[in-house]
Structure 1
Amino acid sequence: MPTQSTTSRSEDAPADGRADFDFFHGCWNVSHRRLRKRLQGDTNWEVFGGTCDVRPILGGLGNVDDNVIELPGGAYRAATLRTFDPAARQWSIWWIDGRNPSTMDVPMRGTFEAEVGTFLCEDVFDGRTIQVRFLWSRITENSARWEQAFSPDGGKSWETNWIMDFARQAESTASA
């Protein structure tokens, strides 16, 4: 599925989707909202802060971010690795939790279309197979939103369980 993003794009990058995450380079403050219990009908949200520092890698075919997540029970670090496959015109996204840094989550795969990035994978949560969806939206030069949702029924219904609203730090500037 080809990508055509209208987000900030490097002038010399091909329009195949490889520049879709260029908007994200730099330093961000993050406002988190996360359901306390997932796939249990819970409506209680934890609200906490954090930061995210994003840098390009692989000559622009990827990026990596370093996160500080300030959970109410204590802060931890995490990282995201994103790579772009020009042949498939698709991004892959891996999450690394600093509390267990020897493992990487199952990769999410997807693209941006109509200014929204949609990334999917199959995973296991509490012993059962689920679908996981990341959505990137509301992208501007100084803000963006990420949402995570789980589906226990093969994508028929989705429970959004984590939302991150990003605000670019004043001294941060996007770089290609």
Structure 2
Amino acid sequence: MAGMRNSDFDFLTGHWTSRQRRLVKALAGSDEWYEFDATLDCQVLLDGNGVFDVLRAPERDMEGLTLRLYNPDEGVWRIWWAAKTSGGQLDVPVVGRFVDGVGTFECDDTWEGTPIRVRYRWSEVDTPRPRWEQAFSTDGGQTWEVNWVATFSRS
């Protein structure tokens, strides 16, 4: 509702360290992962309806930013990601909401030429170690392959 403060992402405010795990090759039937450390600096803005963070993983030469905007009329978040390697482009936004403490956000996109469904999921947000994961589906969301998982800790 208009004028109401959105607190969905308040848990993420501040400075975090994280352990990141990514599949070496997504959608290839592989179970080979690599791991690295990253930091996350997050600000909650616009009465909770805007969230901005920067993820940095120097050892992987990786830097990316996330912009989350909440539409109170629709009751949904749109989440955009852009990496240093994105060439000035924001990814297609995932769209969704929190239900029972778990945030699920999805969109249609393309991965290396293959049409996919993308899902971000935030869980354990009421614990000291929130968890985020990204998964892809090539069958419209019937089955999912998780390809990126991050666990966060306050630094």
Question: Which residue is 2:90 aligned to?
Answer: 104
- Alpha-carbon distance in structure 2 between the residues aligned to 1:156 and 1:99: 30
TM-score by length of 2: 0.93
Q: In the alignment, does 2:42 pair up with 1:42?
A: no
**Amino acid corresponding to residue 132 of structure 1 in structure 2:** V
**Does structure 1 retain, via aligned residues, the 8 Å contact 2:108–2:117?**
yes
- Alpha-carbon distance in structure 2 between the residues aligned to 1:145 and 1:113: 15
Q: In the alignment, does 2:151 pair up with 1:161?
A: no
Moved more, 51-60 or 156-165: 51-60
Percent identity between matched residues is 40
Moved more, 99-108 or 149-158: 99-108
Structure 1 position 100, deviation (Å): 2.7
**Does structure 1 retain, via aligned residues, the 8 Å contact 2:9–2:44?**
no
TM-score by length of 1: 0.82
**Does structure 2 retain, via aligned residues, the 8 Å contact 1:151–1:159?**
yes
Q: Does the C-alpha gap of structure 1 residues 112 and 31 become closer, same or farther in structure 2, counting only changes over 3 Å?
A: same
- Alpha-carbon distance in structure 2 between the residues aligned to 1:157 and 1:128: 15
1:90 paired residue among 76, 83, 91: 76
**Does structure 1 retain, via aligned residues, the 8 Å contact 2:19–2:36?**
yes
Instruction: Specify the SS of the correspondent of 2:19.
Output: strand
Structure 1 position 141, deviation (Å): 5.2
Instruction: Specify the SS of the correspondent of 1:143.
Output: coil
The structure whose RCO (Cα within 8 Å, separation 6+) is larger is 1
Q: Which runs of 5+ in 1 are unaligned?
A: 1-12, 170-176
Structure 1 position 76, deviation (Å): 1.9
**Does structure 1 retain, via aligned residues, the 8 Å contact 2:15–2:41?**
yes
**Amino acid corresponding to residue 50 of structure 2 in structure 1:** G
Coordinate RMSD, CA, aligned: 1.5
Question: Which residue is 2:125 aligned to?
Answer: 139
Structure 1 position 14, deviation (Å): 3.3
**Does structure 2 retain, via aligned residues, the 8 Å contact 1:69–1:78?**
no
Structure 1 position 67, deviation (Å): 1.0
Q: Which runs of 5+ in 2 are unaligned?
A: none
- Alpha-carbon distance in structure 1 between the residues aligned to 2:86 and 2:123: 29
Instruction: Specify the SS of the correspondent of 1:129.
Output: strand
Paired positions, count: 153
